[in-house]
Structure 1
Amino acid sequence: MDRNKIRILFLPPVDKANTNAQSLNTREVALRLDPERFEVTLFYEEEPDPRLRNCRNIRLLALPHRVKTIRILKEQLSDYDIVSYMDYSPASYIFVHLPRLMRKGTTTVLHAEAPRAQLVNPSILLRVLYDGVFSRCDAHVGITDFVARDLAHNGDREARFILPVGVDCRFFSPPAKREHAVPTVLFVGTLVERKGPQFVVLAAKHFPGANFRLVGAGRNNFERVLQKQISDLNLPNVTLEGPRSQYELLEIMRESEVLLLPSRLEGLPKVSLEAAATGLPCIVFRDYETPSVVDGVTGFQVSTFEEMLHRLEQLIQGSGLRTRMGSAARHHAKKFDWDIVSKQWNSAFIEIAGSSR
């Protein structure tokens, strides 16, 4: 490793099959950090994203199936300038509680990606890990202005930077034509109550002439709750499709007309940018003020379930409205292209590292 360069360790594993947003973000940022300024270390568990191989400033480390905590902690103690995407793992908890002398000059960076209220009914262990890591990180960044304000108000921490996530607009692109006889409403996200997939199912009851596709992995068996809801309401127009790769998701988005995200606790939903880049108007709740959806232009930000149904009806019935909003969404998404957004990350990391050297 070149000690004249900024050494940065990202904690999310970068396996090619990993569809977690932090993993996807880490890969896109790492690929775009200035190789003349940064040396990057990334973990993987099975098979890393092939794009990361043979990059001269990226080092890939395999995590063992056992004693992962020890391996991660050992790497955190390897004199990095920055450890980014601090998580709420035992390794991170131990690291931030070690004496500063042992941690040397390493700056730990916590990325706040949603309001603190997103931590719903945590276990005792998770609460201890969360509180212990959050309060002891050296630098906090917010994904949006709203999350930064929440960080200051509810977390008593000032966000040093606003670092939004991005989208690869070359990969996520619209189809040549959208001419489907039956409109499709799409939900993408983890199937948990907090994300609101149950409201997508309820919406399907109001619009039997549209198809509703829910894409994402279940958690804590919530997919069974949804399957029972679908069965009880006798909804043949709803499908639960499980997790999908980025390539599969691209095709699903091209086959859809509207993205519906009924969660009230988010930051900047990555999927809303991906959908926008493929030309999909999106409906979200305005509670978290996401900059990815411009109300009335690229989609709608709503306040109630009833308003959500009203806006969804407008988009299902109005092909012209969908086309106009979809085109505007694509144009808006280009402002969040990773080639643009990554420059903000690049500058922030340089400043963070400079303050600790």
Structure 2
Amino acid sequence: MTSRVKLFLGAYINCTNAQNLNCLALAKHLDKSQFDITVLNLYSQPPIKIKGVKVFSCIWPHRIMVYWAYFWNIVKADVVYLPKAELLAFNSFICQLFGKKSFSTIEGILDDTNFLKAKNKSGFNVLNYYSRLSQVFSISQYIKDYNFKKHSLATEDKILELGTESQLFLNTTYQTAPITKVILIANNYSKKGVDDFLALANNYSQLEFHLVGEGKKIENYLPNLICHSKLSQYELSELLKDIQLHIFPSRSEGFPKVILETACAGVPSLVYADYGANQWIDHYQNGFVVQTLDEMKVVIEDLLNNKKSLNQISKNAIQLGLSYDWKLKIKVWHDAILALSSK
């Protein structure tokens, strides 16, 4: 009998952000008969356990024990997945030192702002970090092409698209125009174009604008603005049942997971085109892709005046979300990890 591949997914599955949630999904969906999977839990959050998956608890004090958590699990693994911008230099050095097969995913465009931010955060040139790993994948063709043109950063030909847990958000009650409630969802909305969102809220006082997440203190609080803290996936899915439009005015992204989650709920997204969103969103078909704030206003006016069938766009958005279900996307990841393990 062939032994299972020892796979370390370097993320905290009990914390809510894109990389952590993606590793949670990978741990759930990868074939346990072929992979012996280890993940991390962070001491400060309620633990999550998955049948057939080993969970390593990173205890307090985190700033010290995080080194041990990564070191111990990297050394024990056959293949290491490092999606997070955490201990970049240390983790890549350990992988090299012990000859571990390792890979990462680039989940956003490395424009000047993001490139400088990543460098300042880690104190390490991210391009050097990627060069130390066995393989680097992009999560969309646009990201792959952009980063190669901008930084000569070559990634694997295979694209590792991210999936979504569609059943957590699925709502087959389609949205209808005219719209009354819109939403922006972000872990840190300060980085996701919240000023444009607030400008729209100021412009459309007849609409409720829901803001989910954390970020800078909102000045000049508007009467039609409803602020929520971070919500669990269940809480968010319940809120989305009463929302007609997701406005996501970030200019620098990769493949925003939240767009797929809201799509599964039948809530189409209104986004900017800067990061290649028109490669998966068809304008006025399953969502809206625009260039400027004024163009966002045109879309909102159309929906307010019932010029476009939000019902059909909502149906199409659900199909978009379902097409990215992890059950459909996991095979590409499965094959890529097995191929790396056999090199």
Q: Does the Cα contact within 8 Å between 1:272 and 1:293 map onto a contact in 2? A: no
Where does residue 273 of structure 2 map in the other structure? 286
Other-structure match for 1:156: 152
1:150 Cα deviation from its structure 2 partner? 2.1
Aligned match of 2:7 = 8
Which residue of 2 is the match for residue 251 of structure 1?
238
Structure 1 residues 286 and 74, CA gap change in structure 2 (3 angstroms): same
- Of residues 198, 202, 225, the one that matches 1:238 is 225
Assess, with a 3 A threshold, how the Cα gap between structure 1 residues 253 and 70 changes in structure 2: closer, same or farther.
same
Structure 1 equivalent of residue 24 of structure 2: 27
Aligned-pair distance for 1:37?
Answer: 1.1
TM-score by length of 1: 0.86
Cα deviation for residue 124 of structure 1 reads 3.8
Distance in 2, Cα, partners of 1:317 & 1:70: 56
- On the 8 A contact 1:142/1:151 being kept in 2, the answer is no
Asked if 1:260 corresponds to 2:247, the answer is: yes
Does the aligned pair in 1 maintain the 2:127–2:153 contact within 8 Å? no
What pairs up with 1:35-184 in 2 under 5 angstroms?
35-46=32-43, 47-50=46-49, 52=50, 55-56=51-52, 58-66=53-61, 67-90=64-87, 92-98=88-94, 100=96, 102-104=97-99, 106-117=100-111, 119=114, 121-122=116-117, 124=120, 126-128=122-124, 130-160=126-156, 161-174=158-171, 176=173, 183-184=180-181
Structure 1 range deviating more: 61-70 or 139-148: 61-70
Deviation of 1:332 after TM superposition, in Å, equals 1.8
Query: Counterpart in 1 of 2:202?
Result: 205
- Closer, same or farther in 2 for the Cα pair 1:40/1:144, shift >3 Å? same
- Cα shift at 1:182: 6.6
Tell me the amino acid that sits aligned with residue 63 of structure 1. C
1:196 and 1:251, CA in 2 relative to 1: closer, same or farther beyond 3 A? same
The CA deviation string for residues 196-236 of structure 1, in whole angstroms up to 9 with x for no partner, is: 01111100111111100010122xxx2x1xx11x43xxx21
- 1:285 deviates by 0.8
Contact 1:8 1:80 in 2 (8 A): yes
Q: 1:184 to 1:132 in 2, by over 3 A?
A: same
1:136-172 per-position Cα deviation (integer Å, ceiling 9, x unaligned): 2221111110011123223433222211111222221
Structure 1 residue 190: Cα displacement = 3.0
Q: Compute the TM-score of the two structures, normalised by the length of structure 2.
A: 0.90
Where does residue 310 of structure 1 map in the other structure?
A: 298
Q: 1:343 aligns with which of 318, 331, 335?
A: 331
Q: Which secondary structure does the structure 2 equivalent of 1:116 belong to?
A: coil
Output the CA distance in 1 between the equivalents of 2:73 and 2:248: 36
Query: Which range moved further: 305-314 or 167-176?
Result: 167-176
CA RMSD across the alignment: 2.3
Count of residue pairs brought into register by the alignment: 335
Is 1:273 the counterpart of 2:263? The answer is: no
Give me the whole-angstrom Cα distance separating, in 2, the residues matched to 1:153 and 1:306: 29
Deviations 1:82-128 (A, max 9, x none): 111343333x412323584x313x12212100001252653745242
CA distance in structure 1 between the partners assigned to 2:9 and 2:194 by the alignment: 31
Change (3 A) 1:32 1:73: closer
Contact in 2 for aligned 1:89/1:129 (Cα 8 Å): no
Report the CA distance between 1:177 and its aligned residue.
6.5
Higher alpha-carbon deviation: 177-186 or 78-87: 177-186
Corresponding letter in the other structure for 2:38: T
Q: CA deviation at 1:246?
A: 0.4
Q: 1:138 and 1:167 mapped to 2: Cα distance?
A: 26
Which residue, out of 298, 312, 332, partners 1:324? Answer: 312
1:296 match: 284
Identity %: 21
Residue matched to 2:184? 187
Conserved 8 A contact 1:88-1:129: no
| 1:310 to partner: Cα distance | 0.7
Cα deviation per residue 1:280-307 (whole Å; 9 max; x = unaligned)? 1211111111244222201111011111
Secondary structure of the structure 1 residue equivalent to 2:155: coil
Go from structure 1 to structure 2 and tell me whether the alpha carbon gap of 1:40 and 1:128 turns closer, same or farther (over 3 Å shift).
same
